[in-house]
Structures are given as C-alpha cells and as structure tokens.
Amino acid sequence: MKLATVILAAGLGTRMKSQTAKVLHRVAGRPMIEFPVGLARDLRSERVACVLGHQADAVRAAVEARFGEGSVAVAIQAEQRGTGHAVAQAEKALRGFDGPVLILYGDVPLLTEATLRKLLDAGRRRTLALVTTLLDEPTGYGRIVRGAGNRLERIVEEKDATDAERSICEINAGIYCVQSKFLFSALKKLRTDNAQGELYLTDVAARAAQSKEGGEVGTVEVEAEEVMGVNDRVDLARADAAMRRRVTLTLMRAGVTIRAPETCCIDAGVTVGADSELGPLVQLRGNTRVGAGARIDAGCVITDATIGDGAHLKPYTVVAESEVGAEAELGPFAHLRPGSQLGRKVKIGNFVETKKARLGEGAKASHLTYLGDAEIGAHANIGCGTITCNYDGYVKSRTVIGEGAFIGSDTQLVAPVTVGAGAVVGAGTTVVEDVPPGALALSRSKQIAVPGYADKKRAEREARAATKGSTSAGKRSRRKP
C-alpha cells in the first residue's frame, strides 16, 4: 500500500525550559524525533516530511545522522498558527502523492508500529481514521464527540467545549490516517473562529464525518501511555522509563536473563544475544551489540561497543567505542577507552586501562596496567604495573609487542618502541630501544648485598634509644620535690 507520513515537530517546547529543541531530548538514549521517523520508515512510507520550526537545522541534522542524508523532506512552519496550519506546510513535499497520509508527532515517542498498522487498516476504506484513548482526567485534551450509532461526529478542543463535552473521557490523540486529496482540500477550508484563533487539524475530522465520501470516521483506541506527549521534564522521565521497560521486556522474552531489570538502563536499539546475562545496574548505551552467551556483571557501563559471544565483563567494567572478542574476560574495574580491540580469549584484569590498543588472541594484562596506542601480539603476557608511555608532550607514538612476549612487572615502554616476538623484559625495566625477538631486556642496576648492614643499623638504633632513656631518667631525679 502506498503511504506518506507527515511528522509535526515545529513547536518551541517552552515547558521543557531548555536551550535544546524539545524533539532532540532523549528517550532511551535516542532523540525523540527518531521514533516517529523510524516508524514511518518501518511502514515503508514513500515520503516522510518533517514539519520543523525551532532549531530546524539541528533537528534535520539529528535525523540525517541516524537515517542518512535526504532521508526526510523538511517543511518549515515559521509561524505557529495551529496543527492544521502545520500539516498544510507539508503539501509541497507531498505534491503528486495520492494515497493515505499518516500524521505523527515528534514528541510522542511511545507510539508502536502495531497501533499504526491498525490505524492504516481502519483508514483503508475511509477518508479518515484516528487514534483515541480514555483518560480519567481528560483536562486539556480535545474530546471525541459521538452521535447516533456511536459514530464520531467531531472533535472539540477543551477551550471550545461545553460543560457536558468536558465530561467526556475519550480524547483525541492527534494521530491520523487521511487520504491525501481530502486532507489538503480540507486544510484550505479551515477557519480560525475558535477560542485560540488557530487552524485546528481536528476540524478536518469533522469535515470527513460530514462529507458524503467520508462516511463513518474510523477510530482505534489504545492505552494512554502509548500516545502520551512529552511537554516537560517530568513527561520526559516517564516516557524514558516506559521505553526502557519495553526494551528489557523484549530482551527477556528473546532469551536474555536480566537480574533486577528495573535497575538496568538499556538504550533503544541495543541488541543482546540469547543466553546472555545482565547483572543489576548494567548500562548498555548507544549502538552497543552484545553477542550470545555473554555475561555482563553488576555496574558495567558499555557505550557504542561490540561484545563477543561468551565474553565475561566483571563488575564495574567500563567499555566505550571498542570491540571485545569472543570469550574475552574483563575486570573487575577495567576501563576500555575508545579504539580498543580485544581478540578472542583476551584477559584484561582489575584496574587495567586501554586506549587505541589492539590485543591478539589470548593476550593478558591481568592488573594495574595502562596500554595506550599499542599493538600486542597473541598470547603476550603484560605484567602488573606496566605502562606504555605513548605521549611525550608533543606527539603520541605506538608501542608494538610481539606474539608470546613476556613483559615483567613495573615496566615502562617508551614509545615508539618494539618488543619482538617471544622476547622477555625483566621487571622494573624502562625500555627505550627495540628488543629483538627472543631476547632478554634489562635496564636495572646490578643488585649488591652488604653483609651485616641491617644488624649494624639495628644495634645503632637500640643504643640511641637506651642513651635517650637514661638521660630522661636523670633529669627527672634532679627535680625539686
């Protein structure tokens, strides 16, 4: 079925009290505007037009960053004259299109594809169909006025409603499916003779109900949460919590174990393979991908990273913009900074930090180590307290450690430097020159032993203490009574 979508996102969002456009505020890690655009694309809309106003360039940039340049047409509503006026701005972008038009909102992020498919089905043989919901407290919303046979007659806005109409609990969610020819014809006939002096999109529904070709206007009723709009920070928090609940439920139903799911923070779009396990307080952000059978323990924070099958991240490990190979083991308290790449079965232990470091299969850095701008071969062993000195105050340089090399504890590798395959670097060494494959590198001075030194020093301390004690006793005996 042919389909076009118009997304209204021109509002100022003054109740957000923010320098950022309302539709750019994030729900489950994504700018709100991404959700309706994503739905339109999932429904295979031929055309998607965003009606923008406040910070239009920033909103367009956010959409194109996610969906690609030219993914939406942009229409500008320079003057806020109501929802009907906003939709009318999209007429040029939809010129030549003949078929149903979905009308969505940039600040309604919880709407589902299933609901829109029902709406499209309801509107297939009708001029117009819309979404409604029931509210115990409908103050502020347009009411659905029904007549004989429960048919929709019109929608009345709060400020224009009578007392009887204000008692109606069925409200208009503002989401429509309208045949394009009727829509733009009806928009041209809208008038501003209402309490707000605006062009109401709701009046299009009344025209459809009254027109010969419109007949019965279709309605789809949904739960209120799904069509809630975000107007302030309280609404934003509610929408964020609801979306994250959906994400965790979807993952658990797909075979992921989540301990204390109410404490986890998983962004929309994150994927986790079956039989993986997430501990309490885990955060999976951005475009993170977790393989099957992985285990991510309590307090881990993973951002824009790929975690391989069967990997184990121990408590409070932080990973950003990095790749972790299958069956790798990290933490606790490890930190992978952007650009780190760990091969299969790599071990990064507690208080190890990496940055732009590539570790081959089976390489190990078990504790208290910094590996920056480094290439580390398969099965190399990096001892405790090792540092790659990658910055000299002017430029950053690279350290290369060959396969099977052994780096002793408390070693400093001053880049640029290469340690050959199978080489050994003794503990406490500062490496400033390349080490040939299979060689031993040492830079510490020769150890010496002075016989009797400790015994002599101990005797001297004891003698001083005895002398001091006798002197103090003499002073006390000479005091007058």
pLDDT surpasses 60 at 315: yes
**Residue-level pLDDT at 349:** 98
Reference 5, options 71, 79, 81; nearest CA is: 71
Chain centroid to CA 398: how far? 31
Question: pLDDT exceeding 70 applies to what percent of the chain?
Answer: 96
pLDDT category at 476 given cuts 50, 70, 90 is low
pLDDT surpasses 70 at 474: no
Reference 442, options 450, 451, 433; nearest CA is: 433
pLDDT surpasses 60 at 334: yes
More confident of the two residues 58 and 140? 58
Question: pLDDT exceeding 90 applies to what percent of the chain?
Answer: 85
Residue type, 8: L
Pairwise CA distance, residues 113 & 120, whole Å: 10
List phi, psi (to 5°) of 263.
-95, -10
Element (H, E) at 42: helix 34-42
Query: Mean of the per-residue pLDDT values for the chain?
Result: 94
**Secondary structure (3-state) at 97:** coil
Mean pLDDT throughout 320-346?
Answer: 98
pTM, entire model: 0.89
pLDDT tens figures, 184-197: 999 999 888 887 88
Across 21-35, 118-132, 396-410, least confident range: 118-132
Question: Which residue, chain included where needed, has tokens 């409908």?
Answer: 138
| Torsion sign, CA atoms 56, 61, 64, 69 | positive
Query: How would you class 429 by CB atoms within 10 Å of its CB: exposed for 0-12, middle for 13-18, buried for 19 or more?
Result: buried
pLDDT surpasses 60 at 302: yes
Note whether 259 and 276 are within 8 A (CB): no
Note whether 274 and 294 are within 8 A (CB): no
pLDDT tens figures, 252-269: 999 999 999 999 999 999
**Residue-level pLDDT at 196:** 83
Mean pLDDT throughout 210-221?
Answer: 78
Note whether 349 and 385 are within 8 A (CB): no
Reference 106, options 190, 39, 44; nearest CA is: 39
Query: And the tokens for 195?
Result: 């309490």
pLDDT surpasses 60 at 478: no
Q: Is 335 a catalytic residue?
A: no
Note whether 50 and 9 are within 8 A (CB): yes
Q: Are strands 152-156 and 143-146 parallel, antiparallel or unpaired?
A: antiparallel
pLDDT category at 176 given cuts 50, 70, 90 is very high
Residue type, 393: G
Query: And the tokens for 129?
Result: 């169909």
Across 85-99, 149-163, 334-348, least confident range: 149-163
One-character DSSP codes across 112-129? -HHHHHHHHHHHTTSSEE
Annotated catalytic residue: which of 25, 54, 312, 367?
367
**Residue-level pLDDT at 125:** 82
Query: And the tokens for 121?
Result: 């089905």
Q: What is the CA radius of gyration of the chain?
A: 34
Mean pLDDT throughout 310-335?
Answer: 98
More confident of the two residues 246 and 479? 246
DSSP state of 115: H
Given 3-state DSSP classes, what are the helix, strand and coil percentages for the chain, each rounded to the nearest 5? Answer: 25, 30, 45
**Residue-level pLDDT at 107:** 96
**Residue-level pLDDT at 124:** 86
List phi, psi (to 5°) of 166.
-70, -20
pLDDT surpasses 80 at 370: yes
Residue-range domains of the chain with CATH: 4-227 (3.90.550.10), 255-441 (2.160.10.10)
**Residue-level pLDDT at 210:** 83
Q: In 10 A of CB 414, how many CB atoms?
A: 16
**Residue-level pLDDT at 479:** 54
List phi, psi (to 5°) of 125.
-110, 15
pLDDT surpasses 90 at 74: yes
**Residue-level pLDDT at 27:** 98
**Residue-level pLDDT at 212:** 63
Note whether 390 and 398 are within 8 A (CB): yes
pLDDT tens figures, 137-174: 999 899 999 988 888 988 998 889 999 999 999 999 99
